[in-house]
Structure 1
Amino acid sequence: IPVWYCQDCGEIIVELEDPTNCKKCGSHNLLQDPDVLDTWFSSALWPFSTLGWPEETEDLKCFYPTSVLVTGFDIIFFWVARMIMMGVKFRGKVPFKQVYINPLIKAAEGKKMSKSSGNVIDPLTVIDEYGADTLRVTLASLTIQGNYICLSEERIKGFRNFANKIWNVSRFSIMNLKDFNIDKIEKDKLKMTLVDKWIISKLNETIKKSTEYLNEYKYGEAAKIIYEFTWNEFCDWYIEFSKPKLYQEKDTIERRTSQY
């Protein structure tokens, strides 16, 4: 602890740099406090020290307290509890209203990842090989309400296929929308088929459910319903149903409806 006690006059000195003498009596007979700060001490101050505290900055007024803290279950006492204690002590308010406990990542067989075991999956290597979106959707899909995620390259490859599916269907859609201008569409003249109404209904259902899941921090469930709609309903069924209309040479109302 950067605290020194003058052995001659009893003055307590707190400095960033080691003092050479007592500022009160000039004595060189100083003794530093032998105690140490807890490793998590500065981390406990993080919610407000990063915002300019002890000054009453605009950032501090705006962002403290915040709404959600995301962390792992292994540091609830070391970090979360201490941030709450320090926040109440120095700011009079808890630093956040909700805490989302995300699972920790383990190797495929459920063991802890370590370099010595050779089972570490480097996220940068995964991004280079499969793309950042693949890694994002993999982790989101595997994030359930539990303590651990068992991650393997095979699982990542599976979601790579999903990312490719989104890429391909996006490219297909763009290719078939080159002559489409939504501002010129008269909605009341569109000719919706049963299939068109079905996919719009499924889309609205997916939006509603995924939004509810995200608001409840159920990321795995949200990713699952988005995956199922995109692959099983939109790509496998609706796109295939739409191709005959989209491939028409004439600019028909059926084609416009499918584009819409």
Structure 2
Amino acid sequence: MKRTLVLIALLVFLTGPARPASAERLVTVAFPLFAPYRTLENGRPAGLVVALLDDVAKRMGFKVKFVEVSFHRAMYMLDNGDVDIMPGLFKRKDREERYLYVETPYRYERTSFFVLRDGPRIDSYDDLRGLTIGTLEEVKYFDRFDNDDTLTKKPVLSDMLNIRKLLEGRIDCFAMAGEVAKQKIVMAGAEKSIVQAAFRPAQKDGVYLVFSRRSPNKDLVEKLNETLSAMEKEGELSRLYQRYFGY
């Protein structure tokens, strides 16, 4: 009997305390503000990505914790495994090596350029030459632009800072996803001063959820892809676009 008790105690010591079968795992999500995808309402996370991940979490049986940080900080945390998921990334070769992509995109986006109403005309890509262009640190836009070292790009940590710099004449234009820019310009009260340039690149990119390669929850990637694919077929993604974009 004594020997049996010793064996049981040893087994408990080696395996640790049993976890309740009903315990939900917690998935942390980096949350740079990027309306209408990621925003705050009464101090709480809101927007398309929040609604999307809340639905995904219910279907898959996990809990989501949103961590509000800058885009630059979010990328650092993703690299180090301090968060599990980062939303809103385009697919690029270097990033596919760094992160695990959920294969089904939840949205497609295209870069636009914004100027002052009486500012320079940008009717073609070549019109960007000679201009000082505001960009966001760590953000990818489109291949030609990202790889063009002949352009003068001035990266900052905040989209709102680019809007302020344009209003103050410190840059000639800035690059940003069109739908996001429109909302941020309104938030800045600059819709009468800032307009979208005529030139838009042909390249349209999928917007993805990515996992840190150091995430303890990276085994969810395949299942999350299946869930997103099912939501797309059910029309749930289209309903989210209608709700947040109006089309």
TM bucket (normalised to shorter chain) is: under 0.3
TM-score, normalized by length of structure 1?
Answer: 0.20
TM-score (structure 2 length as normaliser): 0.20
* Structure with larger Rg: 1
More contact order relative to length (CA 8 Å, sep ≥ 6): 2
